[in-house]
Amino acid sequence: MTSSVRKIKEKERLDLSKYMNTETGEPLSSELQGKSIQLTTQGSSVMICSDNYVIIDADSFNFLKKQLNRSELGSIGIMSVDLKTELNVIYNNNFPHTNDSLQKVLGIASNSTFHVLIKKLVNLGVVYQMKGKVRDRIMTFYLMNPFLARKRKTIDAGLAEIFTTFKENKL
């Protein structure tokens, strides 16, 4: 993971009507005719840039805090770290998580506990469960609600449609 920190530069636009050309006595604004001058200084803030980040919607998370316990909220956090593609698929490195791999990464030993959690998350609109053929295998994989968590600014329009009800209900 690459992270960088850089100082934020503060820009200030000069009011050119306050300054004059000492030779002609004309205001500087009349000589520059529509142009502006900005002063740039190093500010007291820094910007942290990262290639690997997760955006979590505060309203959605606050809604889920009322519906889920801390362990279940932690599971959502763990899953959100592994989001990829415009479909917000929960990935296991370069392959979508299966039930087995997701259960293992969440640290849930019991199959029944895992299935109860997934059912609850599906019913709340946190994840969408899909079954299909991936690399010549039929498997179950999961899409996370982009109105809750995502790793990109753009998402698939169909994905937004799937989770529209969640967006409307949580507000």
pLDDT digits 0-9 by tens, 27-36: 777 777 777 7
Say what the pLDDT of residue 51 is: 73
Is residue 76 within 8 A of residue 148, CB to CB? The reply is yes
| C-beta separation of 19 from 27 below 8 A | yes
pLDDT in tens, 126-168: 999 999 887 788 888 899 999 999 998 889 999 988 888 777 7
Q: What is the pLDDT of residue 169?
A: 67
pLDDT in tens, 35-68: 777 777 777 777 777 778 899 999 999 999 999 9
Average pLDDT over residues 77-106: 93
DSSP single-letter state for residue 100: H
- Backbone φ/ψ region at 11: left (φ over 0), alpha (ψ -120 to 50), beta: beta
What does the alpha-carbon distance between residue 129 and residue 170 come to, in Å, rounded to a whole number? 20
pTM here?
Answer: 0.73
Q: Enumerate domains of the chain plus CATH numbers.
A: 3-50 (no CATH), 55-170 (1.10.10.10)
